[in-house]
A and B are shown apart, each in its own frame.
Chain A
Amino acid sequence: MAIFEYAPAPESTDVVDIKPSYGLFINGEFVDGSGPTFKTINPATEESLAEISTATSDDVDRAVQAARKAFGVWSALPGAERAKYLFRIARIIQERARELAVLESLDNGKPIRESRDVDLPLVAAHFFYYAGWADKLEYAGFGTKPLGVAGQVIPWNFPLLMLAWKIAPALACGNTVVLKPAETTPLTALWFADICRQADLPPGVVNIVTGAGETGAAVVAHPDVNKVAFTGSTEVGRIIARTVAGTDKKLTLELGGKAANIVFEDAAIDQAVEGIVNGIFFNQGHVCCAGSRLLVQESIQDELLASLKRRLATLRVGDPLDKNTDVGAINSADQLAKIRELSEIGESEGALRWSPACELPERGFWFPPTIFTGVAQSHTIARDEIFGPVLSVLTFRTPAEAVEKANNTPYGLSAGIWTEKGSRILWMADKLRAGVVWANTFNKFDPASPFGGYKESGYGREGGLLGLEAYLDVRASAARLGGLS
């Protein structure tokens, strides 16, 4: 028995009032969807939270038409006026942050500590950041002409944050939006629809359609959509790329990753251990840029692994609404099955599996923090994205070998370097083929910093100044400058 056991500190769920069923948000109104309903469940308890509508292709068409109509009004507004709406939305998000954080944790399974301290502050920050750009587009260098209607499909790992990444720049640039949240996590997007009404956003500027893959496909394929933005799996990204190929739709894809977190022998070990933990166990490893491949210099392998295992023993796994929980529930039964399957493949291929002793709740979808040691580049778990709390540990001897191994992946979204040597950080960052390279930190996000991938991790950038490019008609601006006909 430990001397100091923390008593449960559950966040109150009284702040959210979830209705039994929800429709779609089209042209500023909540309307019924034509398709069958489905349930969104709390992954920590498997209890149903609400019935959600499925948008058919007819519903999607109505949403796109509403967005098309609103585009005329919205794009004609001076940037400063659009900024006012965005600032208002950002402030309402801050005011309702607690409610949104609780809702996000209920629907997604992520710890309230993360939804409260990471997701919601970043969501508000993205709206504030792009609100600031709305009247300064001329200075960004991509012109000021919006594309039109943006069809956006987002994943379940950061439901509200991915919505913010998509909607904030789109609106700032003068586009209107039809967004489809993931079928397992639609609630915060529907709450956002309510926030749009609270902010008096003109009807049709933001439309939310719920449903599974077919609804998303209808959004992407709709002929009157000018821009498609997708975050999700590489597999679905390929299908979308095929659908969009040959049309004049603009496309950005944020896909999977298998990031290398590279620890050199001269690293600040205690902070590196924290960074490794944050890199792979943050949000249960449901992070496309998760540091799922630990590359550790052989000379410190034993020492580092001992520290890491000791640290993992203090990770608190369980009720996402407990303020002291570090690792919450796996988002869905399907995802849990996938994590289990890949972990079993890891074992069968000969990697050594380790998890700290931890009691998992009886109901809900749970997977303990897991480390595989003795992993080689040729192991499946070193190649395939697991998208769960599973770390593969590999070793290297020299900086050049670290670079080779880190780049030897079909993906290229992020990487981490841990060393006290500044010159090595610069040398490595230059050679790593990854969209984001963190030095002596990991999983840090900021609205001012562009994010995106190489190779199978997708193309285009979100966030920062470059994030505007994806929502502006760069060709029109070039033509205006006489650069292109």
Chain B
Amino acid sequence: MTTSLADVAASGATLRAFLHGLPGVDRVGADQRAAMLGTRSIKTTAKAKAIDLAISMVDLTTLEGADTAGKVRAMCTKAVRPGGDAPKVAAVCVYPDLVAVAAEAVRGSGVKVASVATAFPSGRSSLEVKVTDTALAVAAGADEVDMVIDRGAFLSGDYMKVFEEIVAVKAACGEAHLKVILETGELATYDNVRRASWLAMLAGADFIKTSTGKVSPAATLPVTLIMLEAVRDFRDATGRQVGVKPAGGIRTTKDAIKNLVLVNETAGDDWLTPEWFRLGASSLLNDLLMQRQKLATGRYAGPDYFTLD
């Protein structure tokens, strides 16, 4: 880490040498560590705090082909006021063509609008299309852009192509924050997850995100652990802090709290805010609200006591 990080991307060869020089990840050990942290027992006041923190970190998401303006507006209303005295969520996440609707719906609330651009979810299009997709989303009012990397290029070893795409999309983002989706389920190895994390950070990502939610496995605990280690080490090396967003498959309060424990014991306090840690989810919010009410009243209400949107 002593060589200047600016020189790392000087050529495909230097980039490759750097990424392959990162410490390896032992799969068994990483799985074990994540499993151990998953057994932390979070109760009472700590649980209440964790639930509210988790709600404030949710990127409430709808990414369906059947999405409509009505559906997005309803979701945005819930994002701003999830129910009772629960805090508002961090952001809503929609497709680019619905960004304007979402931006209008959350205006003035402090809830951010995120958009999946760059030929989401496959990422299989030209750089030109990806940059245009990004520019459209930003022009429509997106505060945050979630881009997918070209997994094909990554797996074939063409790290430079991935790097340059991220740089170009970052440039197209302007003021908007860039979240880079690694689609870790397709990267196959934990070594690749670490390399892709560093690659994205070197290219200027503001956030690294696990998954599109369209591929299984999505956000597993060990993968989030490795990404948290990466942002921690990256900040040690460069002074620049990058956020982490596990997305896909996080459905229960228990899952959300396990993620917070990972953050707490891996990257630490500095990441325990919506500014630096997000949970990409659609169905998680209601479970958080239900557990929140259970803590407050001692009883579970039925699912009909929590709104559908």
- Are A7 and B23 in contact, with the CB atoms below 8 A? no
Partner of A4, one of B29, B39, B53: B53
Tell whether A441 pairs with B272 under 8 Å between CB atoms, given A4-B49, A117-B39: no
Tell whether A4 pairs with B43 under 8 Å between CB atoms, given A271-B25, A275-B29, A440-B28: no
Tell whether A113 pairs with B39 under 8 Å between CB atoms, given A7-B45, A269-B23, A270-B25: yes
- Are A266 and B24 in contact, with the CB atoms below 8 A? yes
- Are A4 and B44 in contact, with the CB atoms below 8 A? no
Cβ of A314 under 8 Å from chain B: yes
Cβ of B229 under 8 Å from chain A: yes
Tell whether A6 pairs with B26 under 8 Å between CB atoms, given A113-B39, A270-B229, A271-B33: no
**CB-CB contacts of B14-31 with A at 8 A, as 1s and 0s?**
000000000111101110
Q: Closest approach, in angstroms, between the C-beta of A41 and any C-beta of chain B? A: 26
Cβ of A3 under 8 Å from chain B: yes
A-chain residues with CB within 8 Å of residue B26 when the two chains form the complex? 268, 271, 420, 440
Cβ of B58 under 8 Å from chain A: no
Cβ of B7 under 8 Å from chain A: no
A-chain residues with CB within 8 Å of residue B41 when the two chains form the complex? 6, 9, 323-324
A-chain residues with CB within 8 Å of residue B39 when the two chains form the complex? 113, 117, 323
Minimum CB distance partner of B40 in chain A: A324
Partner of B269, one of A4, A274, A440: A4
Expressed in whole angstroms, the Cα–Cα distance for A166 and B10 within the complex equals 62
Within 8 A of B (CB), among A51-103: none
Within 8 A of A (CB), among B33-86: 33, 39-47, 49-50, 53
Expressed in whole angstroms, the Cα–Cα distance for A6 and B46 within the complex equals 5
Expressed in whole angstroms, the Cα–Cα distance for A267 and B33 within the complex equals 16
Expressed in whole angstroms, the Cα–Cα distance for A8 and B43 within the complex equals 8
Minimum CB distance partner of B230 in chain A: A270
Cβ of A357 under 8 Å from chain B: no
Within 8 A of B (CB), among A1-55: 2-9
A-chain residues with CB within 8 Å of residue B30 when the two chains form the complex? 270-271
Within 8 A of B (CB), among A303-345: 314, 323-324
Partner of B47, one of A7, A8, A267, A324: A7
Among A271, A420, A440, residue most surrounded by chain B Cβ atoms (within 10 Å): A271
Minimum CB distance partner of A326 in chain B: B36
A-chain residues with CB within 8 Å of residue B229 when the two chains form the complex? 270
B-chain residues with CB within 8 Å of residue A270 when the two chains form the complex? 23, 25, 29-30, 33, 226, 229
Cβ of B265 under 8 Å from chain A: yes
- Are A2 and B269 in contact, with the CB atoms below 8 A? yes
Cβ of B264 under 8 Å from chain A: yes
Expressed in whole angstroms, the Cα–Cα distance for A458 and B255 within the complex equals 46
**CB-CB contacts of B125-140 with A at 8 A, as 1s and 0s?**
0000000000000000
Q: Closest approach, in angstroms, between the C-beta of A130 and any C-beta of chain B? A: 26
Q: How many residues of B contact A (CB 8 A)?
A: 29
**CB-CB contacts of A416-449 with B at 8 A, as 1s and 0s?**
0000100000000000000000001100000000
Cβ of B260 under 8 Å from chain A: yes
**CB-CB contacts of B268-286 with A at 8 A, as 1s and 0s?**
0100110000000000000
- Are B269 and A7 in contact, with the CB atoms below 8 A? no
B-chain residues with CB within 8 Å of residue A324 when the two chains form the complex? 40-41
Q: Number of contact residues on A: which range applies? A: 20 to 34
Tell whether A4 pairs with B28 under 8 Å between CB atoms, given A9-B43, A269-B23: no
B-chain residues with CB within 8 Å of residue A5 when the two chains form the complex? 46
Partner of B265, one of A268, A314, A323, A440: A314
- Are B23 and A441 in contact, with the CB atoms below 8 A? no
Tell whether A4 pairs with B260 under 8 Å between CB atoms, given A9-B41, A274-B29, A324-B40: yes
B-chain residues with CB within 8 Å of residue A4 when the two chains form the complex? 46, 49-50, 53, 260, 264, 269, 272
Expressed in whole angstroms, the Cα–Cα distance for A484 and B192 within the complex equals 59
Q: Closest approach, in angstroms, between the C-beta of A143 and any C-beta of chain B? A: 38
A-chain residues with CB within 8 Å of residue B25 when the two chains form the complex? 268, 270-271
Minimum CB distance partner of B232 in chain A: A310
Within 8 A of B (CB), among A248-300: 266-271, 274-275
Expressed in whole angstroms, the Cα–Cα distance for A113 and B46 within the complex equals 19
- Are A7 and B44 in contact, with the CB atoms below 8 A? yes
Q: Closest approach, in angstroms, between the C-beta of A438 and any C-beta of chain B? A: 11
Expressed in whole angstroms, the Cα–Cα distance for A440 and B23 within the complex equals 14
Minimum CB distance partner of A313 in chain B: B268
Among A4, A7, A274, A324, residue most surrounded by chain B Cβ atoms (within 10 Å): A4
Tell whether A6 pairs with B40 under 8 Å between CB atoms, given A271-B25, A271-B26: yes
- Are B43 and A7 in contact, with the CB atoms below 8 A? yes
Q: Closest approach, in angstroms, between the C-beta of A172 and any C-beta of chain B? A: 30
Partner of B28, one of A113, A117, A441: A441
Minimum CB distance partner of B271 in chain A: A3
**CB-CB contacts of B205-230 with A at 8 A, as 1s and 0s?**
00000000000000000000010010
Minimum CB distance partner of A271 in chain B: B29
Among A7, A266, A274, A440, residue most surrounded by chain B Cβ atoms (within 10 Å): A7
A-chain residues with CB within 8 Å of residue B23 when the two chains form the complex? 267-270
Q: Closest approach, in angstroms, between the C-beta of B32 and any C-beta of chain A? A: 8
- Are A441 and B29 in contact, with the CB atoms below 8 A? yes
Minimum CB distance partner of B49 in chain A: A4
A-chain residues with CB within 8 Å of residue B29 when the two chains form the complex? 268, 270-271, 274-275, 440-441
Instruction: Identify 6 residue pairs between A and B in the complex whose beta-carbon atoms are under 8 Å apart, listed by A's number.
Output: A4-B260, A268-B24, A269-B23, A440-B28, A440-B29, A441-B29
Task: Beyond A2-B264, A270-B25, A441-B29, list 13 extra A-B contacts (CB 8 Å).
Answer: A3-B272, A4-B50, A6-B40, A7-B47, A113-B39, A117-B39, A267-B23, A268-B26, A270-B29, A271-B26, A323-B41, A324-B40, A440-B26
Q: Which 6 A-B pairs have the closest CB atoms?
A: A271-B29, A9-B41, A323-B41, A268-B26, A7-B46, A271-B26
Interface residues of A (CB under 8 A from B): 2-9, 113, 117, 266-271, 274-275, 314, 323-324, 420, 440-441
Interface residues of B (CB under 8 A from A): 23-26, 28-30, 32-33, 39-47, 49-50, 53, 226, 229, 260, 264-265, 269, 272-273
